[in-house]
Amino acid sequence: MPTVQDKPNLNVFKEHESEVRSYCRSFPAVFTKAIGDKLWDQDGNEYIDFFAGAGALNYGHNHPKMKEKLLEYIKSDGITHGLDMATEAKEKFITKLQETILNPRNMKYKVMFPGPTGTNSVESALKLARKITGRETVMSFTNAFHGMTLGALSITGNQFKRHGAGVPLHNTVVMPFDEFMGEETDSVDYIERFLEDNGSGVSKPAAIILETVQGEGGINVASFAWIKRIEELCRKWDILLIIDDIQAGIGRTGSFFSFEPAGIEPDIICLSKSIGGYGLPFALTLFKPEHDIWEPGEHNGTFRGNNLAFVTATEALAFWEDDSLVKQVERKGEKVHQFLKSLVQKYPDLKGEVRGRGLMQGLVCHVEGLASTICCTAFEKGLIAETAGINDEVLKVMPPLNIDDEVLDKGLSILEESIKAVLKQ
Ligand X SMILES: *Cc1c(COP(=O)(O)O)cnc(C)c1O
**Interatomic CA distance for residues 315 and 69, integer angstroms:** 8
- Does 266 bind ligand X (CB under 6 A)? Our answer is no
Can residue 247 be called a binding residue for ligand X (CB under 6 A)? yes
Confirm or reject binding of residue 267 to ligand X (CB under 6 A): no
Q: Which of 215, 254, 305, 358 binds ligand X (CB under 6 A)?
A: 215
Burial of 408 (0-12, 13-18, 19+ CB in 10 A): buried
38 lies in the site for ligand X, by CB under 6 A: no
Which range, of 59-67, 174-182, 242-250, 256-264, touches ligand X by CB under 6 A?
Answer: 242-250
Q: Does 396 bind ligand X (CB under 6 A)?
A: no
First-to-last CA distance in the chain?
17
Own/partner pairs, 72-80, CB within 8 angstroms, 24+ separation: 73/307, 73/308, 73/311, 74/308, 78/307, 78/311, 79/307, 80/307, 80/308
**Given 172, 187, 258, 272, the residue binding ligand X (CB under 6 A):** 272
If the CB atoms of residues 109 and 145 are measured against ligand X, the closer one turns out to be: 145
Residue 373 host element (H or E):
helix 370-380
> Per rule CB under 6 A, is residue 284 in the interface with ligand X?
no
Q: Is 246 in the site for ligand X (CB under 6 A)?
A: yes
Residue from 172, 221, 164 nearest 20 by CA: 164
Residue 55 beta carbon to ligand X: minimum distance, rounded to whole angstroms: 6
Q: How far is the CB of 421 from ligand X (least distance, A)?
A: 30
- The verdict on 119 binding ligand X (CB under 6 A) reads yes
Q: Which is nearer to ligand X, 124 or 373 (CB)?
A: 124
- 163 vs 346, beta carbon nearer ligand X: 163
Going 69 to 75 to 79 to 81, the CA torsion angle's sign is positive
Q: Is 194 exposed, middle or buried (0-12, 13-18, 19+ CB in 10 A)?
A: middle
Q: State yes or no: residue 147 binds ligand X (CB under 6 A).
A: yes
Q: Could you give the strand order of the β-sheet that contains 284-287, starting from the edge strand earlier in sequence?
A: 110-112, 284-287, 268-271, 240-244, 207-210, 138-141, 172-175
> Using the rule CB under 6 A, is 252 a contact of ligand X?
no
* Choice between 175 and 414, CB closer to ligand X: 175
* Smallest distance, ligand X to C-beta of residue 146, A: 5
Q: Under the rule (CB under 6 A), what is the footprint of ligand X?
A: 117-119, 122, 145-147, 211, 215-216, 244, 246-247, 272-273
